[in-house]
Amino acid sequence: MISNTLLETCNLTKSFDGRKIIDNLSLKVMKGDVYGFLGRNGQGKTTTIRLLTGLIFPDSGDVMINSHNLRTDFKQAISQIGAIVESPTFYGYLSGYDNLSLMANLVPDLKKKKAIDEVLEIVGLTGRARDKVQTYSLGMKQRLGIANALLGKPKLIILDEPTNGLDPQGMREIKEMISQLASERNITFFISSHLLNEVEKICNRVGIIGNGKLLAEGSIKELARNSQGRSLEEIYFEIIGR
């Protein structure tokens, strides 16, 4: 039987200096989801993303990516994803193209020039590809980060606060890009955010975390139906206030 689950965590737990940051976290992202991961600052969102991307490892529990266990089958699991963790970092004195060229060296069996040209076109940076990154706006750097995440043709892209610090135009461009990639290229997204209105516009499912625990998970429509049609913002503050 073919599973429709692309990302799953099973009882994921992580502590730092004796303090439990992630507490038996079990969540599920289905193929085709644009999944919003919500929670207050300091509740474990970025730590979860670092666990999902193999930057740190859990004390216990498992991460499954497209049926591959990140702990026991790291290479196959990690090849399924692209990610921006916190803010994208590039060499400012190099062009966008040259930064992607360096990153592309890490992707096995990649036809580098073709792949770079393709992702630059997808994110709308072809015309600025040869300009130094230090001349890019914050929104352009974020788009370059998404281009980098796309290089290996991942099935899942994980984004940590992708619109943080952007002006309204930059936020709209990122939202439109995510929606386009999800609908036209069948890419699944896992998006950490605290901007509830933005999540409600682009995500179909959400998970809400508090004190390292999953407090709620489901489709936005289901959550709204179960809460008498209230907005995601109203549902969120009711849940985290428990």
Residue 105 and residue 119 share a domain? yes
Same domain? 118 vs 65 = no
Co-location of 169 and 74 in the same domain: yes
pLDDT at 105 over 90: no
**Total domains present in the chain:** 2
Q: Are residues 49 and 165 in the same domain?
A: yes
- Residue 222 banded pLDDT, cuts 50, 70, 90: confident
Query: Does the pLDDT value for residue 2 go beyond 60?
Result: no
Where is the domain boundary, 153, 179, 209?
153
Residue 202 near residue 181, CB atoms below 8 Å = no
The string of pLDDT tens digits covering residues 35-49 is: 999 998 888 999 999
**Domain co-membership, 46 together with 97:** no
Clarify whether residues 161 and 242 are in a common domain.
yes
Asked whether residue 75 falls in the same domain as residue 161, the answer is yes
Cα 230 to Cα 240: distance, rounded to the nearest angstrom: 15
Residue 33: CB partners within 8 Å, gap ≥ 6?
6, 188, 189, 190, 203, 204, 205
Domain shared by 53 and 2, yes or no: yes
**147: pLDDT confidence band, cut at 50, 70 and 90?**
very high
Q: What is the CATH number of the domain that holds 162?
A: 3.40.50.300
Are residue 64 and residue 176 in the same domain, yes or no? yes
Contact call for residues 65 and 77 (beta carbons, < 8 A): yes
Domain assignment of residue 107, given as a range: 89-153
Q: Which helix (H) or strand (E) holds 60?
A: strand 60-65
Judged against a pLDDT cut of 80, whether residue 229 lies above it is answered with: no
Mean per-residue pLDDT, 48-69: 95
How are beta strands 156-160 and 188-193 bridged, if at all? parallel
> Has residue 204 got a pLDDT over 90?
yes
What pLDDT score was predicted for residue 1?
Answer: 44
pLDDT tens-digit readout, 155-166: 999 999 888 888
**Do 62 and 169 fall into the same domain?**
yes
What is the reported pLDDT for 242? Answer: 58
pLDDT at 136: 94
Is 165 in the same domain as 62?
A: yes
pTM for the predicted model, two decimal places: 0.92
